[in-house]
Amino acid sequence: MRILISGGGTGGHIYPGLAIAKTVEQKNNNAKIAFVGTEQGLEADIIPKEGYQLKTIQVQGLPRKISVELVRAIFKSVIGLFEAKLILNDFKPDIVVGTGGYVCGPIVLAAALSNIPTVIHEQNAYPGLTNRLLAKIVDKIALSNLDAKGYLGDSDKVVLTGNPIRPEILEQNRVKAFKELGLNPKKKVILVFGGSRGAKSINQAVVKLYRQIKGSDLQLLHITGKDGFKEVKKEAQELGINSLKGGQIIIKPYLYNMEAALNVADLVISRAGATGLAEITACGIPAILIPYPYAAENHQEHNARSLERMNAAKVILDRELAGERLAKVVNELIFDEQKLNEMARASKELGQPNAADNLVALIQDLIS
């Protein structure tokens, strides 16, 4: 089995591809896997570190307005298509898999034109431009969210697989996780995170919860992101919170064992990226989602609203976010056991813990 995987620009496109690769290798020791990306993208750093070969092409995103930059992007895409054809001739894949981002455009198109089986994976409720265009020519479209189906044309191609997550998310020992994090298993835990760099608006609103948490039976694990840690730490100390690593309120710039935090959380406050939501729903956690307002084509709000419609989350738009509003929603959920349990069940029903296996089964079917 020879597989080319392409997706880049953000971790949300890269990590599903890696999950597919690792699952294929678990099932087939003789599989040959390579990735296609750009020299400038995040994939150029991540893929080689994971032990996979990265073949590069020239390509950039298409601006939505007529400009010199648009002409340059089209020219690069033509070159990228030629380079993609050379990669196909050299690697001779049995299938090409695109996991999103403009980088996968030329290689998936070249594969389709060469009658090589193709599949694209869409992580979001609203598909990106590249996948919307590729949907017309690929053999199969794998979705993480059925809401995306209506934007992708031929429904006969669509298969709901879910979004692959790290296997360690589901392999945690809950008792051990509480101990590792320094949290009390007899008290409810609110987990807050906004991504590796953090989210300033979320941090500012969550700080307003500190006084309430201090005088309650709740615990708060606040992952501020590296950029926001100093500011949050200063505000916490002004409120008399001097021990950031223990007690009812734990504040960290980054958490390497996020899988432990997800396994102890009773409520999550976060952005609405596809990978984060896949992990939250696999664990069956109720959520308060604050979509990133500048996400491409507002796809995070589409993701968040999808969970809200299924009663797995509450949505607060970033422009409406304030400490008082957040505290009101937190109180409505965390102290209402019935509501919290209903949302947890709804979240769990949306989870797709076997997404990587589903995708690999789809790939194997296409090859055979």
CATH number, domain with residue 217: 3.40.50.2000
Q: Residue 90: pLDDT above 70?
A: yes
Do residues 174 and 135 both lie within one domain?
Answer: no
156 lies in the same domain as 7: yes
* Pair 143, 235 in one domain: no
Domain span at residue 30? Answer: 2-165+353-367
**pLDDT at residue 8, as a whole number:** 84
Q: Which residue has the higher pLDDT, 302 or 198?
A: 302
pLDDT at 167: 82
In this structure, what token pair is assigned to residue 114? 């060469």
Task: Please check whether residues 224 and 114 belong to one and the same domain.
Answer: no
198 or 338: which leads in pLDDT: 338
217-220: long-range pairs with CB below 8 Å, 24+: 217/187, 217/188, 218/187, 218/188, 218/189, 218/190, 218/248, 218/334, 219/183, 219/184, 219/187, 219/188, 219/189, 219/190, 219/248, 219/249, 219/250, 220/189, 220/190, 220/192, 220/248, 220/249, 220/250
Residues 189 and 111 in one domain: no
At 77 the pLDDT is 80
120 shares a domain with 70: yes
SS3 readout for the chain: CEEEEECCCCHHHHHHHHHHHHHHHHHCCCCEEEEEECCCCCHHHHHHHCCCEEEECCCCCCCCCCCHHHHHHHHHHHHHHHHHHHHHHHHCCCEEEECCCCCHHHHHHHHHHCCCCEEEEECCCCCCHHHHHHCCCCCEEEECCHHHHHHCCCHHHEEECCCCCCHHHHCCCHHHHHHHHCCCCCCEEEEEECCCCCCHHHHHHHHCCHHHHHCCCEEEEEECCCCCHHHHHHHHHHCCCCCCCCCCEEEECCCCCHHHHHHHCCEEEECCCHHHHHHHHHHCCCEEECCCCCCHHHHHHHHHHHHHHCCCEEECCHHHCCHHHHHHHHHHHHCCHHHHHHHHHHHHHHCCCCHHHHHHHHHHHHHC
Tell me what pLDDT residue 196 has: 61
Q: Is the same domain home to 155 and 211?
A: no
Same domain for 129 and 185?
no
User: What mean pLDDT do residues 170-179 have?
Assistant: 92
Regarding whether 124 and 47 lie in a shared domain, the answer is yes
For position 356, what pLDDT does the model report? Answer: 94
Q: How confident is the model at residue 274 (pLDDT cuts 50, 70, 90)?
A: very high
Mean per-residue pLDDT, 212-229: 90
CB atoms within 10 A of CB 237: 11
The pLDDT of residue 132: 93
Which burial class, exposed, middle or buried, applies to 112 when counting CB atoms under 10 A from its CB (0-12, 13-18, 19+)? middle
Query: Is residue 269's pLDDT more than 90?
Result: yes
pLDDT, the chain, mean? 92
Q: What is the mean pLDDT of residues 271-293?
A: 96
User: Could you tell me if 240 and 194 lie in one domain?
Assistant: yes
| Whether the predicted pLDDT of 154 surpasses 80 | no
Indicate if 110 and 6 belong to the same structural domain.
yes
The residue with greater pLDDT, 312 or 71, is: 312
Compute the average pLDDT of residues 271-287. Answer: 96
Q: Which of the residue ranges 9-13, 145-149, 289-293, 318-322 would you say has the lowest mean pLDDT?
A: 9-13
- At residue 298, the pLDDT reads 94
Averaged pLDDT, 209-225:
90
152 and 68 in one domain? yes
Res 58 pLDDT > 90:
no
pTM (whole model) above 0.85: yes
Percent of the chain with pLDDT over 70: 95
- What integer is the mean pLDDT of 278-304? 95
321-355 pLDDT per residue, tens: 999 999 999 999 999 999 999 999 999 999 999 99
Is the pLDDT assigned to residue 243 strictly greater than 70?
no
Closest CA to 350 of 292, 272, 298: 272
The domain total for the chain is 2
* Mean per-residue pLDDT, 235-248: 78
